[in-house]
Amino acid sequence: MIPGLVQILLWQGVGELISHFFLPVLPGPVLGLIFLLIFLMIKGQVNQSLALVSDAFSQHLGVLFVPAAVGVILFLPQLKAHALAVISALLISVVLTIVTTALVLRFLAKKGADES
């Protein structure tokens, strides 16, 4: 389990360095996740220790929502004051996420059909 955790933290560190020196617009953890995805796509498989860590993280994913819920309660007056803007941003982001996911799925399905 430790090697998988080290691998995740290593890619996050690489993302932080790239973000700090070259792409300050993108957060380091996001870049690290993209680099990890590219690495795994090139490698073609996920090693056992990384799979073990990712399974453990996904089992406890609900804990990550606790800080967000606390933030919502803390900033409730501001959210009420800007409710229309917040609701609009949420709706637009959900629609864009669904459209993007559908396009990526269509691309991957077409690519998989061509390889078969």
Average pLDDT, the chain: 91
Whole-Å CA distances, 103 to 41, 95, 108, 112? 19, 12, 9, 14
**Which of 1, 7, 89 lies closest to 43 in space, CA to CA?**
7
CA distance 57 to 42: 23
For residue 113, the model assigns a pLDDT of: 80
Contact assessment for residue 50 and residue 7, using Cβ atoms and an 8 Å cutoff: yes
Express as a percent the part of the chain with pLDDT over 70. Answer: 99
pLDDT over 90 (residue 62):
no
Q: Domain segments of the chain: what residues?
A: 1-59, 63-116
pLDDT over 80 (residue 115):
no
Contact assessment for residue 7 and residue 23, using Cβ atoms and an 8 Å cutoff: no
CA distance 90 to 87: 5
| Mean pLDDT of the region 17-33 | 92
Identify how many contiguous H helices and E strands the chain contains and give both numbers: 6, 0
For residue 116, the model assigns a pLDDT of: 67
Helical spans, DSSP H, in 44-64: 48-59
pLDDT over 80 (residue 25):
yes
